[in-house]
Chains A and B, each alone.
Chain A
Amino acid sequence: MRVAILQFPGSNCDQDALKSLREDIDVSAEYVWHDESSLSGFDAVFVPGGFTYGDYLRCGAIASQSPIIRETVKFANEGRPVIGVCNGFQILAEAALLPGALTRNINQKFICKDVFLRAETKRSIWTSGVDKVIRIPIAHGEGRYIVDADGLKAIEDNEQIAFRYVNSQGQIEDSANPNGSVSSIAGVINKAGNVLGMMPHPERATKELLGGIDGLTILRALSLVKA
């Protein structure tokens, strides 16, 4: 089992991802540079956070056109596991692997704090291990998930909402939605369920030293993937 951690100019959560996967999930993980065009030998892809290409044009827009993302789209369409976190989520949304878009937080501020999440479906490998309310950090300025009314109905009907922001008791409320996301959505999956995008950072919550280990409930999915 070998995970490709994609690196772009401006990635900054790549090292967190590598360390958490190697040390805390115990899978093999290697960096893959953005202008590579092969994922041969890899069983899963992790698109880490950051500010790829300085967020020029729109967050993730330029990175979504890179050779490695074109290859990632093919990889994902073969049903293989792909996760995008924070800017990685923005990139996968820009690449149209996931529905919707991420826009400026409703309060215009960069928000860096812990949030509580509830898994909304069990049908993805990424959410099937999350059976309680989990607490993991967010760190973003543009994480307000947007989808139009028809799109929202479609992702609800298809069970594509992976995570919602909730309070510590697991209830949806406005004060628990940090960025004004539609329907408190924190993460979505593709129709097949093998691609996850989420704004919160599971790779920053894999050691007690970092304040919590709830991110493991998501990332452990990788240890179940057959090589």
Chain B
Amino acid sequence: MPTVRVSVTLKPSLLDSAGRTVAGSLKHLGYEEVSDARIGKLITLQVETVDEARIREMCQKLLANPVIEDFSFEVVG
């Protein structure tokens, strides 16, 4: 059965305070090269058939909130 990997990320213009905290923690660990971190979601769907229009619809209707998030997806395996 095909797997669809959907990634949902906060729009770049929005402050990701959790990501910023993670970047700060990495710096504390000595990884000075980290200037920023952003945290998103990875959702994998098992679908019986792949219909990209319907997957896009799922993202728009439920998986992502278009007010604050961007999404992308790829069919894997």
Q: Which residues of A contact B (CB under 8 A)?
A: 57-58, 61, 65, 93-94, 99-101, 103-108, 146-148, 151, 180
Structural contact, B65 and A106, CB atoms closer than 8 A: no
A126 to B17 Cα, complex, angstroms: 32
How many residues of chain B have a CB within 8 Å of chain A?
14
Do most interface residues of chain B lie in helix, strand or loop, or is the interface mixed? mixed
> Which residue of the partner chain B has the closest CB to A147?
B67
A61 to B69 Cα, complex, angstroms: 13
Structural contact, B67 and A101, CB atoms closer than 8 A: yes
Residues of A within 8 Å of B15, CB to CB, are: 106, 180
Provide 18 A-B residue pairs closer than 8 Å at the C-beta atoms, listed in order of the A residue: A57-B62, A57-B63, A61-B62, A61-B65, A65-B62, A99-B67, A100-B67, A101-B68, A103-B10, A103-B14, A104-B18, A106-B17, A107-B17, A108-B17, A146-B67, A151-B67, A180-B15, A180-B17
A93 to B67 Cα, complex, angstroms: 10
Taking the closest CB of chain A, its distance from the CB of B71, in whole angstroms, is 12
Starting from the known contacts A65-B62, A104-B17, A108-B18, 12 additional A-B residue pairs (CB-CB under 8 Å) come to A61-B62, A61-B65, A93-B67, A101-B68, A103-B14, A104-B18, A106-B15, A146-B14, A146-B67, A146-B68, A148-B13, A151-B67
A107 to B15 Cα, complex, angstroms: 11
